[in-house]
Amino acid sequence: MTYGSAEVLRGVDLQIRRGEIFTLLGPNGAGKTTTIEILEGFRNRSAGEVSVLGADPEKATEAWRAKLGIVLQSWRDHGRWGVRELLGHIGSFYDDPHDPDRLLADLGLTAQADQRVSRLSGGQRRRLDVALGIVGRPELLFLDEPTTGFDPEARREFHLLIERLAADEGITVLLTTHDLAEAEKLAHRTAILVGGEIAVCGTPSELARHVQTGSHVRWIEDGREKVLRTEDPSRAAWELHRRFEGPVPGLEIRRPSLEESYLELIGRAA
Ligand SMILES: Nc1ncnc2c1ncn2[C@@H]1O[C@H](COP(=O)(O)OP(=O)(O)OP(=O)(O)O)[C@@H](O)[C@H]1O
């Protein structure tokens, strides 16, 4: 995918299964939003093939669009609307919408039903965003960085909600995030996008295996900390022991956390 002459996606090859919670993880500018905008049919691609629910998003029909739920990164302000009123209004565009009160109850927004949207907290607005995304009973829900700005409690509740939607309603969820812990917690599978390419794709344990390669061996030499990344830390320690002709000052061998490995991966690829 190119914007003018700038190539921002290169050979992104993905298959997402029905009923799956799939996260697209990556740093700022990795191409996550561009990818999902192409899948949503909001952005025309410059090359490649795309099929979403059996159709090419560029040739989308209204019937195809009605099967999607879309929660955008930026809030489209409907601040003057009442919460229930807005949900009922958006629902009226669909054939078989959810009952607004039921949905508000499911999302923990019953107490806010008669409030103006502009009065909601950030977390409540995000939950309303999700309610708006699912009111038409979509088969596929796109969520672009849904938990940005959430406190830990709101994040946890949101994760439970997404898990429930996938389990109870069989909705396929594609969610973008910067947060590795979120992807690990929530996703059946995750693709890490770095610089427009998929660096790794798999289940949380596959991700850990791919990303967490090697150990860090640290020691002090000439008054400075040295770090070696290696697949064979015992050999490295043995060689250091020989070189120092005895105990190695400050020797430490540690397997990096998944978070550290991820940061290293995106740092290396950037
Ligand atoms: N309309 C546009 N015109 C030109 N370049 C764009 C446009 N939209 C995005 N880009 C560039 O494409 C690249 C990918 O952007 P994109 O928004 O897809 O990344 P992202 O992974 O969603 O980032 P973030 O996490 O910051 O939202 C970036 O370098 C960005 O500057």
CB of residue 30 inside a 6 A radius of ligand 1? yes
Ligand 1 neighbourhood includes 132 CB (under 6 angstroms) = no
**Mean per-residue pLDDT of the chain:** 88
pLDDT confidence of residue 270 = 56
Atom 28 in ligand 1: residue holding the nearest Cα: 29
User: Residues 19, 131: one domain?
Assistant: yes
Nearest CA to ligand 1 atom 26: 28
Instruction: Select from 133, 253, 269, 122 the least CA-distant residue to 200.
Output: 269
Q: What is the ipTM of this complex?
A: 0.91
- Specify whether 112 is located in the same domain as 233: no
Q: How many domains does the chain have?
A: 2
130: CB partners within 8 A, 6+ apart: 71, 107, 143, 146, 158, 161
For residue 184, report the distance from its CA to the centre of ligand 1, in Å. 24
CB 131 within 8 A of CB 90: no
Domain, as residue range, for 264: 213-269
Q: What is the pLDDT of residues 145-201, one digit of tens each?
A: 888 777 787 788 888 888 988 888 889 999 998 888 888 889 999 999 988 899 889
Q: Whose CA is nearest to atom 6 of ligand 1?
A: 3
Closest CA to 53 of 10, 19, 22: 19
For residue 7 and ligand 1, the question of a CB distance below 6 A is answered with: no
Residue 188, classified by CB atoms within 10 Å of its CB into exposed (0-12), middle (13-18) or buried (19+), is middle
Is any atom of ligand 1 closer than 6 Å to the C-beta of 26?
A: yes
Residue nearest to atom 30 of ligand 1 (CA): 29
Residue after which a domain boundary falls, among 160, 176, 209: 209
Could you tell me the mean pLDDT of each successive run of 10 residues in the chain, 270 residues long? Answer: 80 90 90 92 90 93 90 69 93 90 88 93 84 91 84 82 86 91 90 89 85 87 93 93 94 86 74
Determine the pLDDT at residue 268.
67
pLDDT in tens, 222-241: 999 999 989 899 999 999 99
Which tokens go with 108?
A: 């923990």
Choose one of 192, 209, 226: the last residue of a domain: 209
Q: Please report the DSSP string for 39-100 in residue order.
A: HHTSS--SSS---BTTB-GGG--HHHHTTEEEE-SS----TTSBHHHHHHHHHTTSSSPPPH
Q: Both 255 and 140 in a single domain?
A: no
Whether the Cβ atoms of residue 103 and residue 135 lie closer than 8 Å to each other: yes
Asked if residue 258 and residue 167 are part of one domain, the reply reads: no
31 lines ligand 1 (CB under 6 A): yes
Pocket test for ligand 1, best of 10, 12, 32, 174 (most atoms within 8 A of CB): 32
CATH of the domain at 186: 3.40.50.300
Output the pLDDT for position 242. 95
